[in-house]
Amino acid sequence: MSLLDDKKKFDQRRAHAPQIVKEKFKFTEKKDEPPLKKVKKEFQKPITSTTTAGFARQRFDFIQALKAEQDPLDRDGLIRKLAFDVFKSQELFEELKNNERLIYDEKNKTFAYRHTYNIRSKEDLLNLLKQNKDYGGMDYKGMKDSYHGLATAVDQLEAEGHVYVLRQKDQTPKMIFYNDNNLNIEMSPEFIKMWDEVEVPKNIEKELKNANLKSMETFKNKVNEKILVKEKKKRVNNRARITNKHIWGEVEKSEKKK
C-alpha cells in the first residue's frame, strides 16, 4: 500500500468525523431593565452637646478630667483641659453642679472631684491611718484614686517606720497598717537571738498534726461546714411545719362538715 492510498483514507475519515463549531458570543443590551439608581449617602450629624451621645460624652470627659486633678479647676482651666466650655450649656452645667461625685464652689466658680478620702500629702495619709487604726489596715486600692502620690508616700512612711505594708507578689502595696509606737515593746538581744535561731519546719501542716494542733484554715472550714448543715436542717424543719399546718386545717374543715 502506497503513501497516496493512506492519505486518501485519512482524508475520508476526517470528512466523516464530527466537527465542533465555536459560536461567537454576541452582547445584547436589554432595554426592559431599568437603569441603576444612585445611592445617596446619608449625612451623619456630628456629636455635639445638643445630641444625647454628645451630652453623655462631655459629662464623662468632664468627670474624668477632674478625677485626674488633685486641685479644683476654674473656667479657664476646664476649657484648656476639655476644649469646650461647660458654663455655656445650662443643662449640662446644672447636672454637673448637682452631681454627687463633684464639688462646685459657688464663690470661686470652680469644680473639683469628690475623692473617697481627703488626702493631699504624706501627713494626711498618716493621720487617716492613725484615725482608723482600731479597724485594722486600710485597702491601698481604695485610696489610690484619692491621692496621685500615694505610692511614694507609702514607701516614705514605711522607710520611716510609721506604717506596716502588706504587699502582693509583684511588690505593690495591698494593705496599709498604722504602726502605733506605744505598742512597740523593747526586746532583749538574747530573746531576739533565740527567736531568729528557731527553724521553721518545711512541712508545717505535718508538724501541726504530729502535735495534735489544727491550722486556722482547717478549723475555719469545719466551722463553716457545721453552719451550713444547721441551716439546711432548719429549712427542712420549717417546710415540714408548714405542711403539717396545712393538713391540720383540712382535717378541721372535714370534721366541721360531719
pLDDT digits (tens, 9 = 90+) for 143-167: 888 888 889 999 999 999 999 999 9
- What residues have CB less than 8 Å from 96, skipping those under 6 apart? 59, 62, 63, 86, 102, 104, 111
Give burial (CB, 10 Å; 0-12/13-18/19+) of 237: exposed
Q: What is the DSSP string of 41-74?
A: PPPPPP--TTSHHHHHHHHHHHHHHHHT-SS-B-
- 174: enclosing H helix or E strand: strand 173-178
State the SS3 of 117-130. CCCCCHHHHHHHHH
The whole-number average pLDDT for the span 110-132 is 88
Q: What percent of the chain has pLDDT over 90?
A: 13
Q: What percent of the chain has pLDDT over 70?
A: 67
| Residue 169 in this model has a pLDDT that exceeds 70 | yes
| pLDDT at site 41 | 53
* Average model confidence (pLDDT) across the chain: 75
DSSP state of 37: P
- Torsions phi, psi of 105, nearest 5? -100, 110
The whole-number average pLDDT for the span 55-78 is 85
Q: Domain 52-113 has what CATH class? A: mainly alpha
Greatest C-alpha distance within the chain: 133
Cell numbers that stand for 153 in this block: 508616700
Place of cell 485626674: 68
Half-sphere exposure (CA, 13 Å, Cβ side) for 17? 9
Place of cell 505598742: 183
Place of cell 378541721: 252
The pLDDT confidence band at residue 254, using thresholds 50, 70 and 90, is low
Of residues 220 and 189, the one with the higher pLDDT is 189
Amino acid type, 192 = I
| Residue 230 in this model has a pLDDT that exceeds 50 | no
| pLDDT at site 253 | 54
- What residues have CB less than 8 Å from 61, skipping those under 6 apart? 82
- How many other C-beta atoms lie within 10 A of the C-beta of residue 246? 10
